[in-house]
Amino acid sequence: MSTLEYAIAARRPIRARLALTLAGFGGLAVATCVLAPLVGSTPISLARVFDRTIPFADNVDAQIFFVARMPRVLAGACVGATLAAAGVVLQAMLRNPLATPFTLGVSAGASLGAMLAIVSGAAVAVGPLSAVPLASLAGAAVASGIVYRLATLQDRAMSTTVLLLAGVTLNSFFSALIMFVQYIADFAQVYRATRWLMGDLDVGSFQPIVAALPLLLIAFALFALLPSSLNLLSIGADAAATRGVDVARAQRLAFLSSSLATGAAVSLAGPIGFIGIVVPHLVRLMVGVDHRIVLPASALFGAAFLVACDLIARTILAPIEVPVGVVTAMLGGPFFLWLLVRKG
Amino acid sequence: MLTETGHGGMEARRKGNKSVLRVSVSPWFVGVAGTAIVVALALTAAAQQPARRIVSLVPAVTEILFAFGAGPQVVAVSSYDDFPPEVKSLPRVGALLDPDVERILALRPDLVISYGSQTDLEGQLERARIAVFSYRHAGLDGMFQTIRALGPATGHQAGSADLARSVQGQLDAVRARVQGRPRPRTLLVFERDPTTLRGLYASGGRGFLHEMLEIAGGANLFADVQREAVQPSQETLLARAPEVIIEVRATGLLPAAGAASDERKAWAALGSIPAVRNGRIYVLHGDHLVVPGPRVGQGTEAFARALHPEAFR
């Protein structure tokens, strides 16, 4: 779609289209989340799950359903929605279709934090947050702080070039530190660290989700302010400014909300790749480029997509489990390459 | 792909259960026809001569050497060695990932114990015409083979045979003690996140931890998984419903005092598991639980005491 068509499309009344899209993608997300807990490596009986006459402590089926599967599906939905939405925001803000939530170094910072927590064997916990998510949140905050400082050093408005270069450099730098931390780690810790980097939604209780939820809600509240500015920002900062967008403010908001979202999602489930790029592009192919539709639709589709990927991950080789990051990469890698070479 | 491990940490990851003493020469020498025979003769002579200066990069093998009396011949150990206490004063020459070849050569060893996967290092040592014992990490049988192979190579044939017999005797004694008792389905955890159940690794149906558990009168929950390590999901743990949970921790990873009860608390999330309901979760500490060396008898007994306390009254 050309810039002109884009601008026209952005002005067209969209309430009806939005309602239709939300109904469609929302229905898909809800259906996935309802169906996913019914399937798993162990056959369970739904009748037994909801049989109140059996005490919960003795009801293995109910425990599998409520302790193992429900938190897992919910975590998948939260993380999928968050990463997909963050991908949309960053692709628009950076005006780069290949941007992902992990482009700006937030996830590498989060990963370094998690690695340090694993290798140090720290057993601290703050409220519902245990050591690894806590350290990974801290790492994400440090990384996004560095990138933000660098990108606003010269000017009040952020330089997307500096953002991208700083993000990519920070990614490599933190990856090198991660390698070093793993190198000096004990063998069993290296397993745990490597496994963490593959992404894992098996959270085991609702507690980690509850811990991440406030951050995710703040991020989504900020996302809700963005779509119109993103429509104009993705044309270009100057064009957006002439149309009355406070570019510096919109960029800051986009950067902070996506960093917060990414940091919280990664602390919950590790860096699960490709969601943030595959989902926004698939959604754009289906609903066009208006961010007022793309953003909510991507969040809903991202939730459904990751829950479905995790379903594959936990059943395809059962009783052995495939890391969910491997599944998203298997699906996302080829798609990403296709996107790269596709013309137009 | 995965292996059990310990604080000693660096146990080789190769499959196969042959521990062989390899003495070979570089291709360059083989090419020189005249010298080849001379060198071969020299090496044969060297192989018959027991090693006097041993460098061990494998903590489990260091323990074995000290246990059968070859300790005084050990001139350097890996950076992960800390048992027996005598090794603390010995020079450290790296480990699996970072062997310090220069320091190893400078110590003028006549036998280097290396991991089977350290092919580069072995190549370098062979070019320097230093004998290499290539360690393969493979269950209790592999450990006994290592003991028996190292005895003659270090001039302690009788000592190594005694050691093998005594360790075997300890294992047999534990086995006899729990004989005929019901074998509880046991989950053997060797790694997980502190305070939560994420990142959990358990022993599969292969390797020395599995064998120790079976000797100690437990039925490994993942005996059917032909791997040394399994990473079960919460769902699998609930579905398989272990009757006993044993967690092993190497000494170096000992958490602060009182943390053991915190560690047990993490299991409360999976309340329907019989082990959790009946309070049969044991957090055991010590390198003897995670190093496939001469202390496996003690480790096995510790498992058996947790599994069958009534057998030890």
Q: Quote ipTM for the complex.
A: 0.79
Give me the percent of chain A exceeding a pLDDT of 70: 95
- CB-CB neighbours of A194 under 10 Å: 15
Q: What is residue B5's predicted lDDT score, i.e. its pLDDT?
A: 38
Chain B contact set for A130 (CB, 8 A):
193-196
**C-beta separation of B9 from B249 below 8 A:** no
What is the band of A9 on the pLDDT scale with cuts at 50, 70, 90? low
Query: Do residues B185 and B221 make contact, with C-beta atoms less than 8 angstroms apart?
Result: yes
pLDDT score, position B2: 37
Beta carbons of B114 and B135 less than 8 angstroms apart = yes
Task: Tell me phi and psi for residue B92, to 5 degrees.
Answer: -110, 135
Quick one: tokens of A206? 């609702």
User: Phi and psi at residue A45, in whole multiples of 5°?
Assistant: -100, 125
- Give average pLDDT by consecutive 10-residue segment, chain B, 313 residues: 36 36 41 44 56 94 95 93 91 88 92 90 90 89 94 94 96 96 96 86 94 97 92 91 92 54 82 91 89 94 95 89
Instruction: Check CB contact under 8 Å for A131 and B195.
Output: yes
pTM, entire model: 0.81
d(CA B42, CA B46): 6
Identify all chain A residues contacting B3, using CB atoms and an 8 Å cutoff.
Answer: 187
Tell me, what's the pLDDT at B32? 45
Structure tokens at A89: 């925001």
Contact A122 B239 (CB under 8 A): no
A36-65: buried (b, 16+ CB within 10 Å) or exposed (e) per residue? bbeebbbebeeeebeeeeeeeeebbbbbbb
Distance in angstroms between the alpha carbons of the first and the last residue of chain B = 40
Task: Please state, in angstroms and rounded to a whole number, the distance separating the CA atoms of residues B191 and A271.
Answer: 21
CA atoms within 13 Å, Cβ hemisphere of B184: 23
Lowest mean pLDDT among A70-84, A127-141, A318-332, B5-19: B5-19
Residues of B in contact with A37 (CB under 8 A): none
Bridge partner residues of B203 (DSSP): B229
The rounded distance, in Å, linking the Cα atoms of A236 and A224 is: 20
The contact set of B with A (CB < 8 A) is 2-3, 5-7, 9-11, 97-98, 190-199, 201, 225, 229-236, 238-239, 241, 250, 252-253, 255-256, 259, 262, 269-272, 277
Cβ pair B234:A319 closer than 8 A: no
The mean predicted confidence, pLDDT, of chain A is: 89
Give tens-digit pLDDT for A92-121: 999 988 899 999 999 999 999 999 998 887
Higher pLDDT, A191 or A178: A178
**What is the DSSP code (8-state) at residue B253?**
G
User: Facing residues of B219 across strands?
Assistant: B185
List strands edge to edge, sheet with B74-77: B20-22, B131-135, B111-115, B54-56, B74-77
What CA–CA distances, in Å, run from A88 to A84, A117, A204, B158, B299? Answer: 6, 30, 29, 72, 54
Residue B284's DSSP bridge partners are B248
Q: Is the pLDDT of residue A247 over 90?
A: no
B234/A67 touch (CB, cutoff 8 Å), yes or no: yes
Q: Give the angle B268-B250-A119 at the CA atoms, nearest 5°.
A: 80
The alpha carbon of residue B221 is apart from the nearest alpha carbon of chain A, in Å, by 12
Q: What is the per-residue pLDDT across B270-305, written as a single tens digit (0 to 9) for each?
A: 888 999 999 999 999 888 898 899 999 999 999 999
Q: Is B270 within 8 Å of A118 when comparing Cβ atoms?
A: no
Q: Given CB atoms, is A196 within the 8 Å cutoff of chain B?
A: yes
pLDDT at residue A78, rounded to an integer: 97
Q: Do B236 and A42 touch (CB under 8 A)?
A: yes
Is residue A26's pLDDT more than 90? yes
